[in-house]
Structure 1
Amino acid sequence: MNATTGEGGTGVRTLERGLAVLAALAERRAATLTVLARDVNLSASTVSRLLDTLVQQGFAEVGDGGAYRVGPRAAQVGHAYDAHDALLAAAHPVMRAVVDDLNESANLAALRGEGAVYVAQVEGRQLVRMFTQLGAAAPLHASGVGKALLAWRDDADVAARLGPGPYPAFTPHSLTTLDAYRTELARVRAQGHALDDQERELGVRCVAAPVRDGAGRVVAALSVSAPTSRLTEAEVPRFAARITQAAQDISRALGWTPPAQSV
């Protein structure tokens, strides 16, 4: 059944109305309560309550003369969308070049809650190739992208996202304890890339590297996955070098400047 009833239905309607008020406010730039109520076709008392909530949460603010305008939290949301758009624009040409060079599928993942969510993919041309559904989440403890996303975060953040463990063992190679995972993250930081060596699926390897924004923060992970028959242990260094260079190219396009090499 698709019908929504009870408190959930009321909450959805309130959210819809609040978003309608915020959209009207964005279009007007600044507007009084009376004008906004007319724009969204709601009573002034309802719009007043919605505006109170928006102001409390920072999505709206009251200006001179009592007129409302968009608040800083709304700007942050818009900036996040712009940053995501910029990330994909910078990544796609680099990912295509990686596929041309390695002939394997390239993926881009970002941190979302307790998982690494795939936000872009360029498929390889092999008859048997790795395919990842966009929007699907990879476990942080058993994926190359998960390691690359977490390796430069502090211990408290890593522990909060993963929990105390033990973690699910997808294969005999999976890391299932926080101590083992922290040791692995130290290795990732030292070498600059992450390796999923059949930890999520037997017969599959993945090499991943961090993508940074202009402030140097890791905002995504670029990876290449392939069957172990093609991504052999001997091939890992070549794949790692290529994917690390590609991740740095995307980072530079986002405004990142690599640290100067010590002499």
Structure 2
Amino acid sequence: MRLLESVAGRPHGATAKQLARETRLALPTVYHLLRTLVHEGYLYRDKGLFFLGEAAERLSSSGAQQKRRSTVAAALAQWRDSIGVPVYYARYRDGEIEVVCVSDTPGNPAVEEWADFRETGHAHAIGQCLLAQLDDDARRDHLDRHPVQSITPYTVCDNHTLLCRLNRMRRTDPVVERQEYALGTVCAAIPITVGTLTATMAISLPADQADRLLSAAQQLQEEVGRSLGSLTLSISI
């Protein structure tokens, strides 16, 4: 790791002797470790100089991605605590609904995914909010692959009814569903607009607290609006 750090600090490359001096390792040990790192793809050698290899670049990229995920998780936890509800972040990517992060507590647990979120987008606020942001062709393509089906007695009953509902939604308004995905639970989702990203933040509540749903969703929308600039890169993961 010390060798990798030393090489990373020298974008124009470094010799084995330079690295040995910087890391205060014996030169034979450095040669042995450099051969191993080159063999594994973490370094490459060119004209006697060592540079970071593709494996090290992938490692760095993975670390940066994890840091962005941590930033999103921290924001969700903050909103969870300030509003007192579970908070979800999801996006639509490659034709599928993807729940990226969920923040809840034992006192305010998230909805149990008893039916695959990807296949039941018509039944929950997250899916409806994401589908509402797509164009008509993309919506129909999604429903061709994941047809409307009854999840609870309150679930929308067919494609036509769902498409009519989606067409009536205003792009900036929270999307609300009451017990369509899970009996005893109500949910609301707000659209997230960052470039071409199709995403949403959502909340859920027990049905006996349904009177809190809209005000909690509006509070989340305000919180997200204030933080979206600093979160733009992180939510694009």
Q: Is the 8 A contact 1:106 1:222 kept in 2?
A: yes
Three-state SS of the structure 2 residue aligned to 1:229 is helix
Three-state SS of the structure 2 residue aligned to 1:189 is coil
Q: Is the 8 A contact 2:172 2:190 kept in 1?
A: no
Partner of 1:130: 110
- Is 2:202 the partner of 1:223? yes
Residue deviations 1:213-243, cap 9 Å, x none?
2x2x34422111121112x1x3222022022
* Alignment: residue pair count: 182
> CA 1:250–1:189 in structure 2 vs 1: closer, same or farther (change >3 Å)?
farther
Single out whichever of 140-149 and 94-103 deviates more from structure 2.
94-103
> CA 1:103–1:81 in structure 2 vs 1: closer, same or farther (change >3 Å)?
same
Q: Which amino acid aligns with 2:89?
A: L
Over the matched positions of the two proteins, sequence identity in percent amounts to 18
CA-atom RMSD in angstroms: 3.5
Three-state SS of the structure 2 residue aligned to 1:142 is coil
Three-state SS of the structure 2 residue aligned to 1:111 is strand
> CA 1:248–1:164 in structure 2 vs 1: closer, same or farther (change >3 Å)?
same
Residue deviations 1:47-93, cap 9 Å, x none?
xxxxxxxxxxxxxxxxxxxxxxx9xxxx9x99x97996576344333
Unaligned 5+ residue runs, structure 1? Answer: 1-22, 31-69, 257-263
Distance 2:74 2:222 in 1: 14
With normalisation by structure 1, the TM-score equals 0.56
Partner of 1:235: 212
* Aligned ranges 1:44-55 → 2 under 5 Å: none
- Is 2:175 the partner of 1:194? yes
Distance 2:68 2:130 in 1: 15
> CA 1:82–1:152 in structure 2 vs 1: closer, same or farther (change >3 Å)?
farther
Three-state SS of the structure 1 residue aligned to 2:157 is coil
Three-state SS of the structure 2 residue aligned to 1:224 is strand
Moved over 4 A (4+): 26-30, 80-87, 112-115
| Offset, 1:189 | 2.7
Q: Relative contact order, CA 8 A, sep 6+: which one is greater?
A: 2
Partner of 2:80: 99
Q: Determine which structure has more spread, i.e. the larger CA radius of gyration.
A: 2
Q: Which amino acid aligns with 1:248?
A: G
Distance 2:143 2:135 in 1: 13
Distance 2:117 2:67 in 1: 21
With normalisation by structure 2, the TM-score equals 0.62
Distance 2:159 2:64 in 1: 31
Q: Which amino acid aligns with 2:90?
A: A
